Amino acid sequence: MRDQQVDLAVVGLGAMGAAVSWQAAVRGLSVVAFDAFEPPHSRGSTHGHSRIIREAYFEHPQYVPLVQRAYTLWAELETAAATRLFQACGGLMIGRPGHDLVDGTRRAAAEHGLPVQTWTAGEVRARVPVLAPDPEMVGVFEPRAGVLAPERAVGAMLDQARRAGAQLFTNEAVVGWASKDGQVEVRSGSRQVRARRLVLAAGPWVTSLLGELRLPLSVERVVQYWYATDGDDRLAPSVFPVFLLQAPDGRMLYGLPDQGRGLKLAEHHGGSTTTADTVDRAVSTTEQSAFHAFATRWVRGLAVAPMEAAVCLYTNTPDSDFLLDWHPSAPGVFICSACSGHGFKFAPAIGEAVASAVSSGALPHDLAPFRLARLR
Ligand SMILES: Cc1cc2nc3c(=O)[nH]c(=O)nc-3n(C[C@H](O)[C@H](O)[C@H](O)COP(=O)(O)OP(=O)(O)OC[C@H]3O[C@@H](n4cnc5c(N)ncnc54)[C@H](O)[C@@H]3O)c2cc1C
């Protein structure tokens, strides 16, 4: 078995592990990283061609500085990799005043001085005719929101990590690790690495690497759907914003413009609890019909059957905030997972903050809201 000594070992090369590997390698750390599959792949949480990025963050204003840093780093990555990862199209948060989505978006915008506009339901229908909000709803429009390309982004981060000297081993699962004598030993089937620090970025598999540490994380099966648009130019990114719509019962529908694969729609949460290894990846016609019945209430002209459907996984904390913190009892081990279904947009900023944590041994101020202690 080969044996190596490095500054940092990373388990998982999805959005988070790729970002940490890239950011740590460009800081000059020696990095060895593993993935059980060949990323970007479609078994975890980072597939489906598109992800929303938005700035007036309804979940909590504390996310705004982190997403603003991410915008900067996504642009730097686009330049370094000479590829396009972001398409601006604006974002529309639709719901009733008094409900989380509208009030949270306005609160984040007000606290951070972000330019948003509030449209009446009639204005939403006039400007985005495919959407059909109730008369009691409003739409809060933010101009900076848009769409990121997750698979291309992971590929670009991995390329940049390699160029900066990181060694990335794919199709090579980590089967165990141990923290002792100021070092962390990490084992795959064919390799043993000794590192000063270890980052666990295994997404929906993370609990399988946490042994005795019983964290209240749950993996949720969610389905993304793509619908034919027959070239309807009202759904093009130049005129159709990403949107979230909170129905009166609290369920949340979201959608992304047609970038050549159709109109993408999904429900944010509402999926069944599962595990990454046992999840049912088939999407039945019964669940397609149930989703259609929900979505067609808010989106006009939706075909009955989608062109494509794909299962993806959220790793949720009980409060839906992230978990980004040092392991409480294993020195040198950092847990970088559980992004509760909304982490992709932040990946490079999380990667940067975690790289700073592993360099300094401390927890950067930006990550204070995501500490583990709140979950125990
Ligand atoms: C349908 C859907 C829509 C979403 N929409 C958005 C959105 O619009 N905007 C947004 O910001 N976020 C969104 N998210 C959330 C976002 O995509 C995730 O938070 C993010 O991609 C999580 O990345 P990750 O690296 O933690 O997990 P993953 O991508 O799952 O990566 C974990 C990696 O660890 C590897 N691994 C696991 N165990 C081992 C092991 N033992 N050894 C080696 N490797 C291992 C896996 O193979 C995998 O590659 C969405 C998520 C889903 C599922």
**Interval between CA 110 and ligand 1 midpoint (Å):** 31
Token couple for 200? 């666990």
Bridge-based pairing of strands 117-120 and 183-188 is unpaired
Distance between CA atoms of residues 107 and 121, nearest Å? 20
Ligand 1, residue 16: give the atom nearest the CA. Answer: 25
48 lines ligand 1 (CB under 6 A): yes
**Interval between CA 211 and ligand 1 midpoint (Å):** 20
The residue whose C-alpha atom lies closest to atom 33 belonging to ligand 1 is: 12
Amino acid in the structure at residue 61: P
52 lines ligand 1 (CB under 6 A): yes
36 lines ligand 1 (CB under 6 A): yes
Distance between CA atoms of residues 289 and 167, nearest Å? 45
Residue written as tokens 């994380």?
217
Distance between CA atoms of residues 220 and 104, nearest Å? 24
Length of the chain equals 376
Ligand 1, residue 242: give the atom nearest the CA. Answer: 8
Residue 376: the pLDDT is 83
Per-residue HEC secondary structure of 164-191 comes to CCCEEECCCCEEEEEEECCEEEEEECCE
Residue 2: the pLDDT is 65
- Within the chain, where are the H helices? 15-26, 64-81, 100-112, 121-127, 150-163, 285-295, 347-360
The residue whose C-alpha atom lies closest to atom 27 belonging to ligand 1 is: 203
Residue 320: the pLDDT is 97
132 lines ligand 1 (CB under 6 A): no
Distance between CA atoms of residues 17 and 15, nearest Å? 6
Distance between CA atoms of residues 258 and 236, nearest Å? 5
188 lines ligand 1 (CB under 6 A): no
244 lines ligand 1 (CB under 6 A): no
Ligand 1, residue 254: give the atom nearest the CA. Answer: 8
* pLDDT per residue as tens, the chain (376 positions): 567 899 999 999 999 999 999 999 999 999 999 999 999 999 999 999 999 999 999 999 999 999 999 999 999 999 999 999 999 999 999 999 999 999 999 999 999 999 999 999 999 999 999 999 999 999 999 999 999 999 999 999 999 999 999 999 999 999 999 999 999 999 999 999 999 999 999 999 999 999 889 999 999 999 999 999 999 999 999 999 999 999 999 999 999 999 999 999 999 999 999 999 999 999 999 999 999 999 999 999 999 999 999 999 999 999 999 999 999 999 999 999 989 999 999 999 999 999 999 999 999 988 999 999 999 8
39 lines ligand 1 (CB under 6 A): yes
**Inter-residue contact 152 to 320 (CB < 8 Å):** no
351 lines ligand 1 (CB under 6 A): no
Spatial neighbors of 176 by CB under 8 A, at least 6 apart, are 186, 187
Residue 1: the pLDDT is 59
Pick from 51, 193, 253 the residue to mutate for probing ligand 1's pocket: most ligand atoms within 8 Å of its CB: 51
**Interval between CA 150 and ligand 1 midpoint (Å):** 10
Residue 91: the pLDDT is 98
Residue 215: the pLDDT is 95
Residue 338: the pLDDT is 86
312 lines ligand 1 (CB under 6 A): yes
Q: Which of 360, 332, 361, 363 is nearest to 350 (CA)?
A: 363
**Interval between CA 15 and ligand 1 midpoint (Å):** 6
Residue 211: the pLDDT is 85
* Paired residues of 325 in beta bridges: 335
